[in-house]
A and B are shown apart, each in its own frame.
Chain A
Amino acid sequence: MLLGFEPLQLFFLFFSSFIVCFVLTPIVMRKMKQVGIVGVDVHKTDKPEIPEMGGLSIVFTLIFGSFLSVVLFSEYFEEVMVFLAVVLIAAFVGIIDDLRGLNALLKPFLLVLACIPVILSGLYSPHPAFPFIGKTRLTIIYFVLIPLVVAVPANAANMIDVLNGAMSGTCAIIAGTVLVCSLILDSEVGLLLSLILFASLLAFWYFNRYPARGFAGDTGSLSVGAALGGIAVVGSVEIVVLVAMMPLIMNSFYILASIGGLKERREIERPTYLMPDGYISATENPKAPLTLTRIFLIRRPLKEGEILKGFYLLALVSAVLAIMTALLIP
């Protein structure tokens, strides 16, 4: 038994979620190409047109995985449904952003709405556990912070999605880390939800990895980020998710700090540019935001694939730190 779950049932949930996403992703990408929802891959010299909104397959897989887990483990019905509601609200915001484009201020505001299912259900524990301290009593503060716990990871995942496979790869590592930490911290809900997310992100990464055959779009990145936030609150693994997401938070934190708040995409200068030989270089424009990619490129220009390997290594460093954090929680 694994935290009261039958390992075979968990394996079935993981495997079926993986297969569903693996089958759905190319179908969604083909459909997007047919209807002309494509984006230009700006980090390639030949500027290919790549299908956008491929992240819809992650959303469909999370719906499938959630219903399957309710069938297999009905005692977690409420928690799984709240998680699904959070993901669906974020996905809806992402779809509008992909199709119409959302104002820089409106998007985070709409993402804050994704926390409503959590607040209405009351399925959160205002006793987050911290290393050494253990469980704390943050009744009022926690309630105030819930909107941020969902909106911050959603925006962070959205902001890291600038290179092929950057969001899907790093978030897959984060979801895998949350899975391990849930086992350490005895969080059944955390284990169940991170398992579904991990399976869908692994399958999606196969198609999104460098060189990408499809983009996740805002639909994918916002729902994945909100899913991580939802797992953090519903599964009571807040501090672990925060540590595992450190590279993504660092990226968004620096973008916001360097451009002085939320701004429209067209108002922001490009932090990097593509050289004729296919290398990506950091711009010297002082008005450009300080992104993680730009920090990576300070020393020398790198190929997109090299930057991505660096991103994955950083995510792995954070994964180790998150597991150490979980072990330090009494």
Chain B
Amino acid sequence: MEKKSKKLVNGKDKWVRPALEIGGILAFVWATMIFMFLVIEEFVVPITEDDFSSSESFLRSLVQVGISGGLAAGWLYFWHLLTSVYVQKVGKILRKT
């Protein structure tokens, strides 16, 4: 089984390795997105009328959207960073060999 999977990665099917590596990045990015939703659910959604008076409901929504938007932007930057690190690392390994 191990031999077979090794052959799949290093042997004839050379396309599997980059696909699995990039797929791994996508899966990790997805997991962080799910974590981001959990954080929003736990900390941002509960910002309710208790913290703001009814006349400040617009401000409350603005705070919620602002924090969620910031988290989403951070998540996108993380995705960008992760792929850049992958590209640089693999490039460096190849240059050394």
Whether B83 and A321, one on each chain, are in contact in the complex, defined by CB atoms closer than 8 angstroms, is: no
> CA–CA, A314 to B27, complex, Å?
10
Chain A contacts of B17 at CB under 8 A?
A: 299
> CA–CA, A158 to B29, complex, Å?
23
State whether the Cβ of B73 lies closer than 8 Å to any Cβ in chain A.
no
Convert B75-95 into 0s and 1s, putting 1 for each residue whose CB lies closer than 8 angstroms to a CB of A: 010011001001100110010
Known: A131-B34, A133-B37. A290 touches B80 (CB 8 A): no
Whether B94 and A243, one on each chain, are in contact in the complex, defined by CB atoms closer than 8 angstroms, is: no
Whether A254 and B16, one on each chain, are in contact in the complex, defined by CB atoms closer than 8 angstroms, is: no
Chain A contacts of B70 at CB under 8 A?
A: none
Q: Which of A145-176 contact B (CB under 8 A)?
A: none
State whether the Cβ of A302 lies closer than 8 Å to any Cβ in chain B.
yes
Q: B42's closest neighbor in chain A, by CB?
A: A132
* Interchain nearest-CB distance for A271 vs B (Å): 12
Whether A132 and B30, one on each chain, are in contact in the complex, defined by CB atoms closer than 8 angstroms, is: no
Chain B contacts of A311 at CB under 8 A?
A: 19
> CA–CA, A306 to B16, complex, Å?
9
Chain B contacts of A138 at CB under 8 A?
A: 65
Whether A246 and B15, one on each chain, are in contact in the complex, defined by CB atoms closer than 8 angstroms, is: no
> CA–CA, A321 to B23, complex, Å?
10
Whether A247 and B26, one on each chain, are in contact in the complex, defined by CB atoms closer than 8 angstroms, is: yes
Convert A296-315 into 0s and 1s, putting 1 for each residue whose CB lies closer than 8 angstroms to a CB of B: 11111010001101110110
State whether the Cβ of B59 lies closer than 8 Å to any Cβ in chain A.
no
* Interchain nearest-CB distance for B91 vs A (Å): 6
Of the candidates B19, B26, B34, B41, the one whose C-beta lies within 8 Å of that of A246 is B26
- Number of A-B residue pairs with CB-CB distance less than 8 Å in the complex they form: 88
Whether A246 and B40, one on each chain, are in contact in the complex, defined by CB atoms closer than 8 angstroms, is: no
Q: Which of A308-328 contact B (CB under 8 A)?
A: 309-311, 313-314, 317-318, 321, 324-325, 328
Whether A295 and B80, one on each chain, are in contact in the complex, defined by CB atoms closer than 8 angstroms, is: no
Chain A contacts of B63 at CB under 8 A?
A: none
Chain A contacts of B22 at CB under 8 A?
A: 247, 292, 295-296, 310, 314
Whether A246 and B83, one on each chain, are in contact in the complex, defined by CB atoms closer than 8 angstroms, is: no
* Interchain nearest-CB distance for B25 vs A (Å): 8
Chain B contacts of A328 at CB under 8 A?
A: 34
Of the candidates A131, A295, A318, the one whose C-beta lies within 8 Å of that of B87 is A295
Known: A133-B37, A133-B41, A317-B23. A246 touches B16 (CB 8 A): no
State whether the Cβ of A96 lies closer than 8 Å to any Cβ in chain B.
no
Known: A290-B87, A295-B83. A141 touches B18 (CB 8 A): no
Known: A131-B37, A133-B41, A141-B65. A246 touches B30 (CB 8 A): yes
Whether A296 and B18, one on each chain, are in contact in the complex, defined by CB atoms closer than 8 angstroms, is: yes
Whether B83 and A254, one on each chain, are in contact in the complex, defined by CB atoms closer than 8 angstroms, is: yes
State whether the Cβ of B45 lies closer than 8 Å to any Cβ in chain A.
yes
Of the candidates A141, A257, A310, A321, the one whose C-beta lies within 8 Å of that of B80 is A257
State whether the Cβ of A250 lies closer than 8 Å to any Cβ in chain B.
yes
* Interchain nearest-CB distance for B6 vs A (Å): 16
> CA–CA, A295 to B88, complex, Å?
10
Whether B30 and A321, one on each chain, are in contact in the complex, defined by CB atoms closer than 8 angstroms, is: yes
Would you mind naming 5 contact pairs between A and B with Cβ atoms under 8 Å apart? A250-B83, A253-B76, A295-B18, A310-B16, A310-B18
Interface positions of B (Cβ within 8 A of A): 13-20, 22-23, 26-27, 29-30, 33-34, 37-38, 40-41, 45, 65, 76, 79-80, 83, 86-87, 90-91, 94
Q: A243-B33, A295-B87, A310-B22 are in contact. List 19 more A-B contacts (CB 8 A).
A: A131-B37, A133-B37, A246-B29, A250-B26, A253-B79, A254-B83, A257-B80, A296-B22, A297-B18, A298-B91, A300-B14, A306-B15, A310-B15, A310-B18, A310-B19, A313-B16, A313-B23, A317-B26, A321-B27
In the A-B complex, the 10 residue pairs with the closest CB atoms: A310-B19, A317-B23, A306-B15, A310-B15, A313-B19, A132-B41, A321-B30, A296-B18, A298-B90, A131-B37
